[in-house]
Amino acid sequence: MASLELLYLTQQEVLDVGITLADAIDIVEGALREHGAGQVENPPKPGVHPLPGAFIHAMPAFLKRPGQVGLKWVSGFFDNPRRGIPSISGLIVLNDAQTGLPIAVMDCAYITALRTAAASGVAARHLARKGSAVVAIVGAGLQGRYNLLTLREVLPDLREARAFDIHAETLERFVSDMSGMLPFAVVPAGDAEQAMRGADLVVTATGVVDKPIFKADWVQPGTLVLPIHSQGWEARLLHEADKFVVDDWAQFSGSMTGPGGFYDELPQPYAELGEIVVGRKPGRQSPDERIVDFNYGLAIHDVAMASEVLARAERMGLGTRLAQMDGTLPFA
């Protein structure tokens, strides 16, 4: 039997292929278009929970028309920064859609960060009010940063970001760093309510929240709410929103209700985001609509992003070839 190899890419090599936020938004929008057209397999992600508040998820996906298939094995251990290691870590495995053989393994952290924020960018393209100028960022960590940069890519009229974090040093660094990167004001808020009231977009990018702390009354007519982590909002906002949108209803509803779920009951969604992207349902139809879009995270985004990373890495000669099979099994 011929020797079979796969390509291994480190986190630095994933970075070195040069995928930008603008690239990520287009890749994620393309994957959502396939989702809206029913041309994907994206089963709800199963997981295990070795520690309270921690998870390890398996996220398989198949995009039929581009023939992209793979799996992300990702963990979220949110006490890790105290140990000097990242909260989110894991690997993506890509397979050949014709043979099933693994063809690449790569670090998933940067891909996860980019695609998570890119989903917010796609949502804002279709659901934000025209001329949106003020964004509230609650949670000034990695996703707060990436989301603000991504929204800048798709909302040219942004002129102010209000930020809040319960950790004063984190908030101070966020304001300082982002003020140096963006051509508009980035200002600290005294609390989450102060950041949200009057904002055109609200991004909640906090860690795990085990009770509803964000109030529907803080969200004005016309606002787009983008919860990066799906907990924290009182259920009334979901039921009273003019449009309640999710990325994948089966996955979201299965995770958010029932034993261990955050919500007792969910309203039926207006649409999945892919249905809006593909044109099956309209996005924003009025400047006064309050819209909530929960993007719980789709494996198709990871597989589509990783496929582009692999294509660029092969053109650039990056990565390490690893022998996978070089003989037959005993008794085969």
pTM above 0.85, yes or no: yes
* Inside any domain, residue 118: no
Residue 3 pLDDT: 63
* Inside any domain, residue 264: yes
Do 69 and 183 belong together in one domain? no
Do 103 and 211 belong together in one domain? no
Residue 37 sits in a domain whose CATH number is 3.30.1780.10
Do 66 and 26 belong together in one domain? yes
Task: Give the count of beta carbons closer than 10 Å to the beta carbon of residue 328.
Answer: 8
158 phi, psi to nearest 5 deg: -60, 135
How far CA 305 is from CA of 46, 110, 300, 314, in Å, comes to 21, 10, 8, 14
How distant is the alpha carbon of residue 262 from its chain centre?
Answer: 19
Residue 232 pLDDT: 86
End-to-end Cα distance, the chain: 12
Do 53 and 156 belong together in one domain? no
Q: Which residues of the chain have pLDDT under 70?
A: 1-3, 230, 258-260, 327, 331-332
Residue 146 pLDDT: 96
The DSSP secondary structure of 49-101, one letter per residue, reads -SSTT-EEEEEEEEETTTTEEEEEEEEE-TTGGGGTS-SEEEEEEEE-TTT--
Do 96 and 177 belong together in one domain? no
* Inside any domain, residue 283: yes
Do 247 and 312 belong together in one domain? no
Do 160 and 283 belong together in one domain? yes
Residue 208 pLDDT: 72
Residue 332 pLDDT: 59
Do 160 and 13 belong together in one domain? no
Question: What total of structural domains would you count in the chain?
Answer: 2
Do 290 and 309 belong together in one domain? no
Residue 240 pLDDT: 95
Domain that holds residue 68: 4-111+299-325
Do 142 and 290 belong together in one domain? yes
Residue 260 pLDDT: 65
Do 276 and 223 belong together in one domain? yes
Catalytic residue numbers, as ranges: 72
Do 319 and 215 belong together in one domain? no
